[in-house]
Structures are given as structure tokens and as C-alpha cells.
A and B are shown apart, each in its own frame.
Chain A
């Protein structure tokens, strides 16, 4: 029982972490929360749903489709809602926050028009396959979700720490102006970051469909709020904070449902976050001071 719940918690936490990473990457380079991220994630889920449940294509193809859709939306978001504001000298960087809110409302309503307000079944082809090890039952879907989210987290960490572009992204996140003066095309770096974050949102959308078997046009908001809570909890802009925060939130929610008053699931999860923030206002992996910024 305990082990099963732990597996459930880590599975859910993995999805939370992927959603939170999308927020934290963009926060790192732009210093704002991308309020449209939840809706891009939702469109990823819908594209995945259409491909799997309606078109009947294999799951990996659905992932590719969701990634392509979400990444293109990220590209459009940057091109039309973020970049025009970046070019204006003297414009507050919060202006782009407001424009992402606009995009988020637009996307939510578009989803409502296209897909309606009801729940859509997300049929994973192998949803009944499970393994039994003693008293522990693990569904193949869970293993797949866990595997994919861990793979993405590992891939992202390696990319950030090993590759030239990853280092340039971290440099841009730490100090945009200095990175620019050292020859990093920071505009291109920001675009790449928004696209990568959105693509991760697309993956997370399919993972949520796999985990809950249904999606609707409101999952963007609910998942988005969790993602936001996690990055505040883990430390704004911190990649490892988003990963750890996602797993902690997933585990605590699951255990509350399993052993405690299930109705308080979200409440207890958020109380945990509040308590941590009282002790560490900068979040788990955040830095107390942001030095180096002018």
C-alpha cells in the first residue's frame, strides 16, 4: 500500500515537475511568469488526445504531435506577445506578463470554442496493462509517465550543464546584458527558451491525459496554479527547485488522499508550501539575494 502510494505520488510529482520547469525556465530568462504556459500545456493535451483517441495513432506519435503544437504556440507567443515588448526601451518587463495573461485568456476561450466545456476521454492504448510484484500493483501507464518525466528532467539538466547553448541559456538567465556583451544572441536565447518550455508543456499535457484518462479546457488553469506554487516553493528560476518541488507536491498530495482527509488534498499541499516559505522565503533552492543584476 505504502509503496503503491509512493509510486502514485512520484508519478504525479513527475508531471508537476515538468509543468513547473516550463514556468521556471521562462522566469529565468525573462523575469516574468508566463501566464499562457498552462493553456499551451492544455492545447498539448488536446492535440495528444485527438491523435490518440480520435486518430488512433501510436502514443509516441501523439507525443511528437503535442510537442510540435506546443512548441509552435511558444514560438508564436514569443514572436507576437513577448518580443515586440522587449524591443521598446523603457517598457516595464511586467508588460510582457500582462500580454501573456491576454494570450492565456485567448487560448482558454479558443479551447472552449473548439473542444467545448465537457470532459474528453483520453484513451491510452495500454491503460489496462499492469504488473504485480507481491502486493504492489504498478500500471504500465504509470511506469511510462515516470520514465518519460525522469528522462526529460535528466535531459534538461544535461543540456543545461553540458552544451554550449545550455550554458549560454544559464548565462542569459543570470545576467542578460552581460551575456549579450559576451556575444550571446540573447533574443534568440529567449525565443529558444520559450519554445523549449512550451514543448515541455506539450509533453506534460499528454502525460496528464495518460494519468487521469480525461482532459477538459480547465486543466490549464488548475495545473498552471500548481506549477506556479511549485516554482515559488522550489525557488523562482531554479531548475532543481522545480524538480524537487514537483515531486514533493505530488507525494504530499497522494499521501493526504491515501491516509488523511481526501477533501483537504489541495489545502494540505498548499499549507506545506506556506510552511516551507515561512522558513525559507527564497524557496527551497532559491538564492537569498539576486546579485549581479543592475
Chain B
């Protein structure tokens, strides 16, 4: 296995405040790597740095053998990194189908003007996009939803699934999922994790932020633990479970009497 994504001493400061410091780890192609840590540990900041939402202030991010620091967000999407958001960010005024189609944007060829002419190639491509959109909606379990419905009208759980479908439409090799089961009940959460496993079978490498420890332990091949913007542990779930630094980060120091 080779590293699909590696971070080398990555840091991100806002003003004088270091949100991330000295982060180095790799994601192997094909694995599900979980990122865990208490609130405010810098997990989402890490996703923002990888997707160039804001560039790192230190270190390098290497994707598929090439550094991606300094690239604009859309170029990173073209390279094959896609993400979902902790608080859902669908295009709420656009339809279910259109949301997926926008996700497909970077994999279709037609430019700003070509759509006006509607060439045969264009029509063929459009049919293909529609077909692919249907497949993706089916994959995430939204085959029953009306594709013409406005995204904001979908129930919450379906919006999360739609966001995953949208990010998959870009045919990513690496998918970043930021708490995909946040706000869901137990049954819905289980379904989302089944979906994540299905996505992995498509050959997509997954980086997953999740709070629910038991779920993370079951779903991930390896875990990276963050606390206060630093990595405090890395390894297979079984080892992480027993790691005293991780237990301390989550539950507070053993001898301390204050609340965790």
C-alpha cells in the first residue's frame, strides 16, 4: 500500500493562535482513517487545510505524490479530494438532482459557452450525467426521493445522504467526511456507516471525523487522535482504546477531580 495523502509537519495559525501544530501522518490508499478528539481539537480545521479552504501556515500536504499546498480549492477537487460538512452545506435552493450535478462539475467537459450550442457530444454527456446522478442517489439510499425537489425540503437525514452523493459525484479518490452521522438517531447512524463501507468498496479512500467512539472503533482501520491542535496518538483502534493519553484527553487526567 502506498500513501495517498501525507501531511508533513502541517501547522495552521490564526493570528498568533495555533489551531494546528506539527501534524504528520499518512493515509494509505483504500483505508478508512478516523480522526477523533475532543471538541475544538482541530479536526475540522485539518479538513479545511487539506481542501485549501484556508492554506496551512506551515508544512506540506502531499496528495498522490504531489504537493497540493497553494492550489485553489477547485484544483484540489479536480485532483480527487472531496468533502462533506459538519453542518450540512447543500445548495438548498437547487433541486436534489442539481446538487449532485454540481458535484459532477469538475468531471464534465462542457465549458461556459458550449452548453448554449447543445452539440451531440453535449447531449450525450448530459444523458450520462443524469444516469450517473441516478446511480449515486441510489447508492446513498435516496432512490425514493423526488430528484426535482428542492434540497432544503428533504428531511435532515436525507440531506446528509445527499451531501455524500454530491461529494461522490466528483469521483474523488479521497473523501473527507466531517461527522456524517451528526444529529442522527441510532438506526440512521448505522445506515450511514453501512453507506461508508459501500463507498470504500468503490475504491474511495476515506478520512472520517466522528465523535461516537464505538462507531469509529468499528468502522475505521486506523485512528489519529487530536487534542488542542496536536496529534497525541496514532494506531489501530484496539491500541488507541488502551492508550493512556487518549483516555486522558477524553476523560481528563486520572487524579484530577474536575469534570471532563
Q: Please report A residues at the B interface, Cβ cutoff 8 Å.
A: 159, 162-168, 170-171, 174-175, 177-188, 192, 287, 291-292
Question: How many positions in chain B have a CB within 8 Å of any CB in the partner chain?
Answer: 37
* Residue interface mask B52-81, A partner, CB < 8 A = 1: 010000000000000000001110111000
Assembled-state Cα–Cα distance A169/B51 (Å): 21
By DSSP majority rule, is chain A's interface helix, strand, loop, or mixed?
helix
Assembled-state Cα–Cα distance A179/B89 (Å): 10
Whether B115 lies near A163 (C-beta < 8 A) is yes
From residue A194, how far is it (CB to closest CB) to chain B in Å?
12
Q: A159-B116, A167-B98, A167-B101 are in contact. Are A181 and B73 (CB under 8 A)?
A: yes
- From the candidates B83, B94, B101, B107, name the one contacting A174 in the complex (CB within 8 A): B94
Whether A291 lies near B101 (C-beta < 8 A) is no
Closest 3 CB pairs between A and B? A183-B106, A163-B115, A183-B77
From residue A75, how far is it (CB to closest CB) to chain B in Å?
13
From residue B81, how far is it (CB to closest CB) to chain A in Å?
9
- From the candidates A163, A170, A177, name the one contacting B116 in the complex (CB within 8 A): A163
Assembled-state Cα–Cα distance A186/B112 (Å): 12
With a cutoff of 8 Å between Cβ atoms, the chain B residues found around residue A168 in the complex are: 102, 105
With a cutoff of 8 Å between Cβ atoms, the chain B residues found around residue A184 in the complex are: 74, 102, 105-106
Q: A180-B73, A192-B112 are in contact. Are A287 and B102 (CB under 8 A)?
A: no
Q: Please report B residues at the A interface, Cβ cutoff 8 Å.
A: 51, 53, 72-74, 76-78, 82-83, 85, 89-94, 98, 101-103, 105-108, 110-113, 115-116, 126, 129, 152, 166-167, 170
Chain A, residue nearest B111 (CB): A165
- From the candidates B93, B94, B108, B170, name the one contacting A164 in the complex (CB within 8 A): B108
From residue A190, how far is it (CB to closest CB) to chain B in Å?
12
5 contacts between A and B (CB under 8 A): A164-B101, A164-B110, A181-B82, A181-B83, A182-B77
Chain B, residue nearest A185 (CB): B74
Whether A182 lies near B115 (C-beta < 8 A) is no
From residue B105, how far is it (CB to closest CB) to chain A in Å?
5
Whether A182 lies near B110 (C-beta < 8 A) is no
With a cutoff of 8 Å between Cβ atoms, the chain A residues found around residue B108 in the complex are: 164
Whether A183 lies near B78 (C-beta < 8 A) is yes
Assembled-state Cα–Cα distance A171/B76 (Å): 18
Assembled-state Cα–Cα distance A170/B95 (Å): 11
Whether B111 lies near A182 (C-beta < 8 A) is no
With a cutoff of 8 Å between Cβ atoms, the chain B residues found around residue A188 in the complex are: 112
